[in-house]
Amino acid sequence: MPDTGTTAAAFAPANIALCKYWGKRNQELNLPMTSSLSVSLGDKGAATRITITDHDQDIMTLNGAAVPLFSEFGQRLMVFLDLFRLNLYRPPASLRFHVDTTTSVPIAAGLASSACGFAALVLALNKLFHWQLDARHLSILARMGSGSACRSIWPGFVEWEQGQDADGMDSYGKIIPEVWPELCMGLLMVNEKEKNISSRVAMQRTVETSTLYSAWPDKVEQDLADIKQAIHEKDFSLLGKTAESNALAMHGTMLAAWPPVNYCLPETMAAMQKIWALRIEGLSLYFTQDAGPNLKLLFLEQDRATVQSHFNLDIVRPFC
């Protein structure tokens, strides 16, 4: 068992899906109903330091503040850490951790904070215990913490292949070896408050109650093919249009759930209308939206100044 004070740190980028992960076929293993595809947010993400402590309980801090162990997030982290310490060091395992995470994306606002958080934790654990796991196994472990975390092991474009195996060993993120330096993503924060329904609850409710969900796997299949073609051919309008339509369709499946699931605030709607109006005027500007009210705008470097003249954005160039 490692000594008290042993420490390791790692960073993982946030990732924004261009073709969304929405719905699980296995809750416990976070196995998805469909494949998905994301692009990472460069140096925006989570930096996690994990340290062996002699406290009698785990200590968790998030952006400098203590996370109560019995909060939903605290429990989720403990259950995840138990996967390792209970298997590595049989109970009663006295191994306790101090997990200190700093994120450069807002928490629980649909900016993939849990994805990069769990990915960074897995990377830090790998260092701490000298596991020397390959990317595939790191991705699988990250997926156990939060589904989309399996895509945050890599930078750039990543496809999470849904896999078929019951144990999920074929369900992990794979890098798509393409770069697109002109690609920009603008984070449009319409509201920094935590969402009122977590994506894990929302997706489960959608799978269980939304009749429209039955059409979602076909939508993903078409969109994945189009997005991969767009990336390969650097066809930005195909990329933008497919990503936007995929996000809107995901939100469409939620509207048909009961009780209805809606992440659009009035400000979200106003921003969408502004984007649509600018596009009609000829600007090549698209958006995607996750399980939160904020939008992520997609555009090319050549349109950056124009886009910035209309929106107050935090701009990321995933490949620069």
Contact 104, 41 (CB under 8 A): no
Smaller CB distance to a copy of itself: residue 17 or 67? 17
Instruction: Candidates 49, 205, 228, 251: give the one binding a copy of itself (CB under 8 A).
Output: 251
Binding segment toward a copy of itself, per CB under 8 A, in 42-50, 158-166, 254-262, 302-310: 254-262
CA distance 291 to 20: 10
Residue count at the site for a copy of itself (CB under 8 A)?
A: 35
Residues 6+ apart with CB under 8 A from 200: none
- Least separation in angstroms between residue 216's CB and a copy of itself is 8
Smaller CB distance to a copy of itself: residue 172 or 213? 213
Instruction: Give the DSSP per-residue string, 227-246.
Output: HHHHHHHT-HHHHHHHHHHH
* Residues forming a β-bridge with 97: 52
CA distance 95 to 59: 12
E strands present in the chain:
7-19, 24-26, 31-32, 36-53, 59-62, 65-66, 96-103, 157-161, 172-175, 183-188, 286-289, 295-300, 314-316
Q: Binding to a copy of itself by residue 268, rule CB under 8 A? A: yes
Q: Binding to a copy of itself by residue 266, rule CB under 8 A? A: yes
Binding segment toward a copy of itself, per CB under 8 A, in 78-86, 118-126, 205-213, 312-320: 205-213
Residues 6+ apart with CB under 8 A from 267: 190, 191, 293
Smaller CB distance to a copy of itself: residue 166 or 215? 215
- Least separation in angstroms between residue 229's CB and a copy of itself is 16
Smaller CB distance to a copy of itself: residue 61 or 209? 209
Tokens 């590595």 -> residue: 88
- Least separation in angstroms between residue 96's CB and a copy of itself is 40
Binding segment toward a copy of itself, per CB under 8 A, in 58-66, 96-104, 120-128, 255-263: 255-263
| Binding flags for a copy of itself, 210-249, as an x/- string (CB under 8 A) | xxxxxxx-xx--x------------------x--xx--xx
Max distance between CA atoms of the chain, in angstroms, equals 65
CA angle 80, 296, 271 (to 5 degrees): 130
Q: Phi, psi at residue 125, to the nearest 5°?
A: -60, -40
What number of residues does the chain have? 320
Q: Is 39 in a helix, a strand, or coil?
A: strand
Instruction: Candidates 11, 73, 131, 276: give the one binding a copy of itself (CB under 8 A).
Output: 276
Smaller CB distance to a copy of itself: residue 145 or 240? 240
Binding segment toward a copy of itself, per CB under 8 A, in 13-21, 80-88, 267-275, 309-317: 267-275
CA angle 105, 47, 292 (to 5 degrees): 25
Q: Binding to a copy of itself by residue 253, rule CB under 8 A? A: yes
Contact 291, 195 (CB under 8 A): yes
| Binding flags for a copy of itself, 158-197, as an x/- string (CB under 8 A) | ----------------------------------------
Q: Binding to a copy of itself by residue 34, rule CB under 8 A? A: no
Q: Binding to a copy of itself by residue 59, rule CB under 8 A? A: no
Residues at the contact surface with a copy of itself, assessed by CB under 8 A = 210-216, 218-219, 222, 241, 244-245, 248-249, 251-256, 258-260, 262, 264-270, 272-273, 276
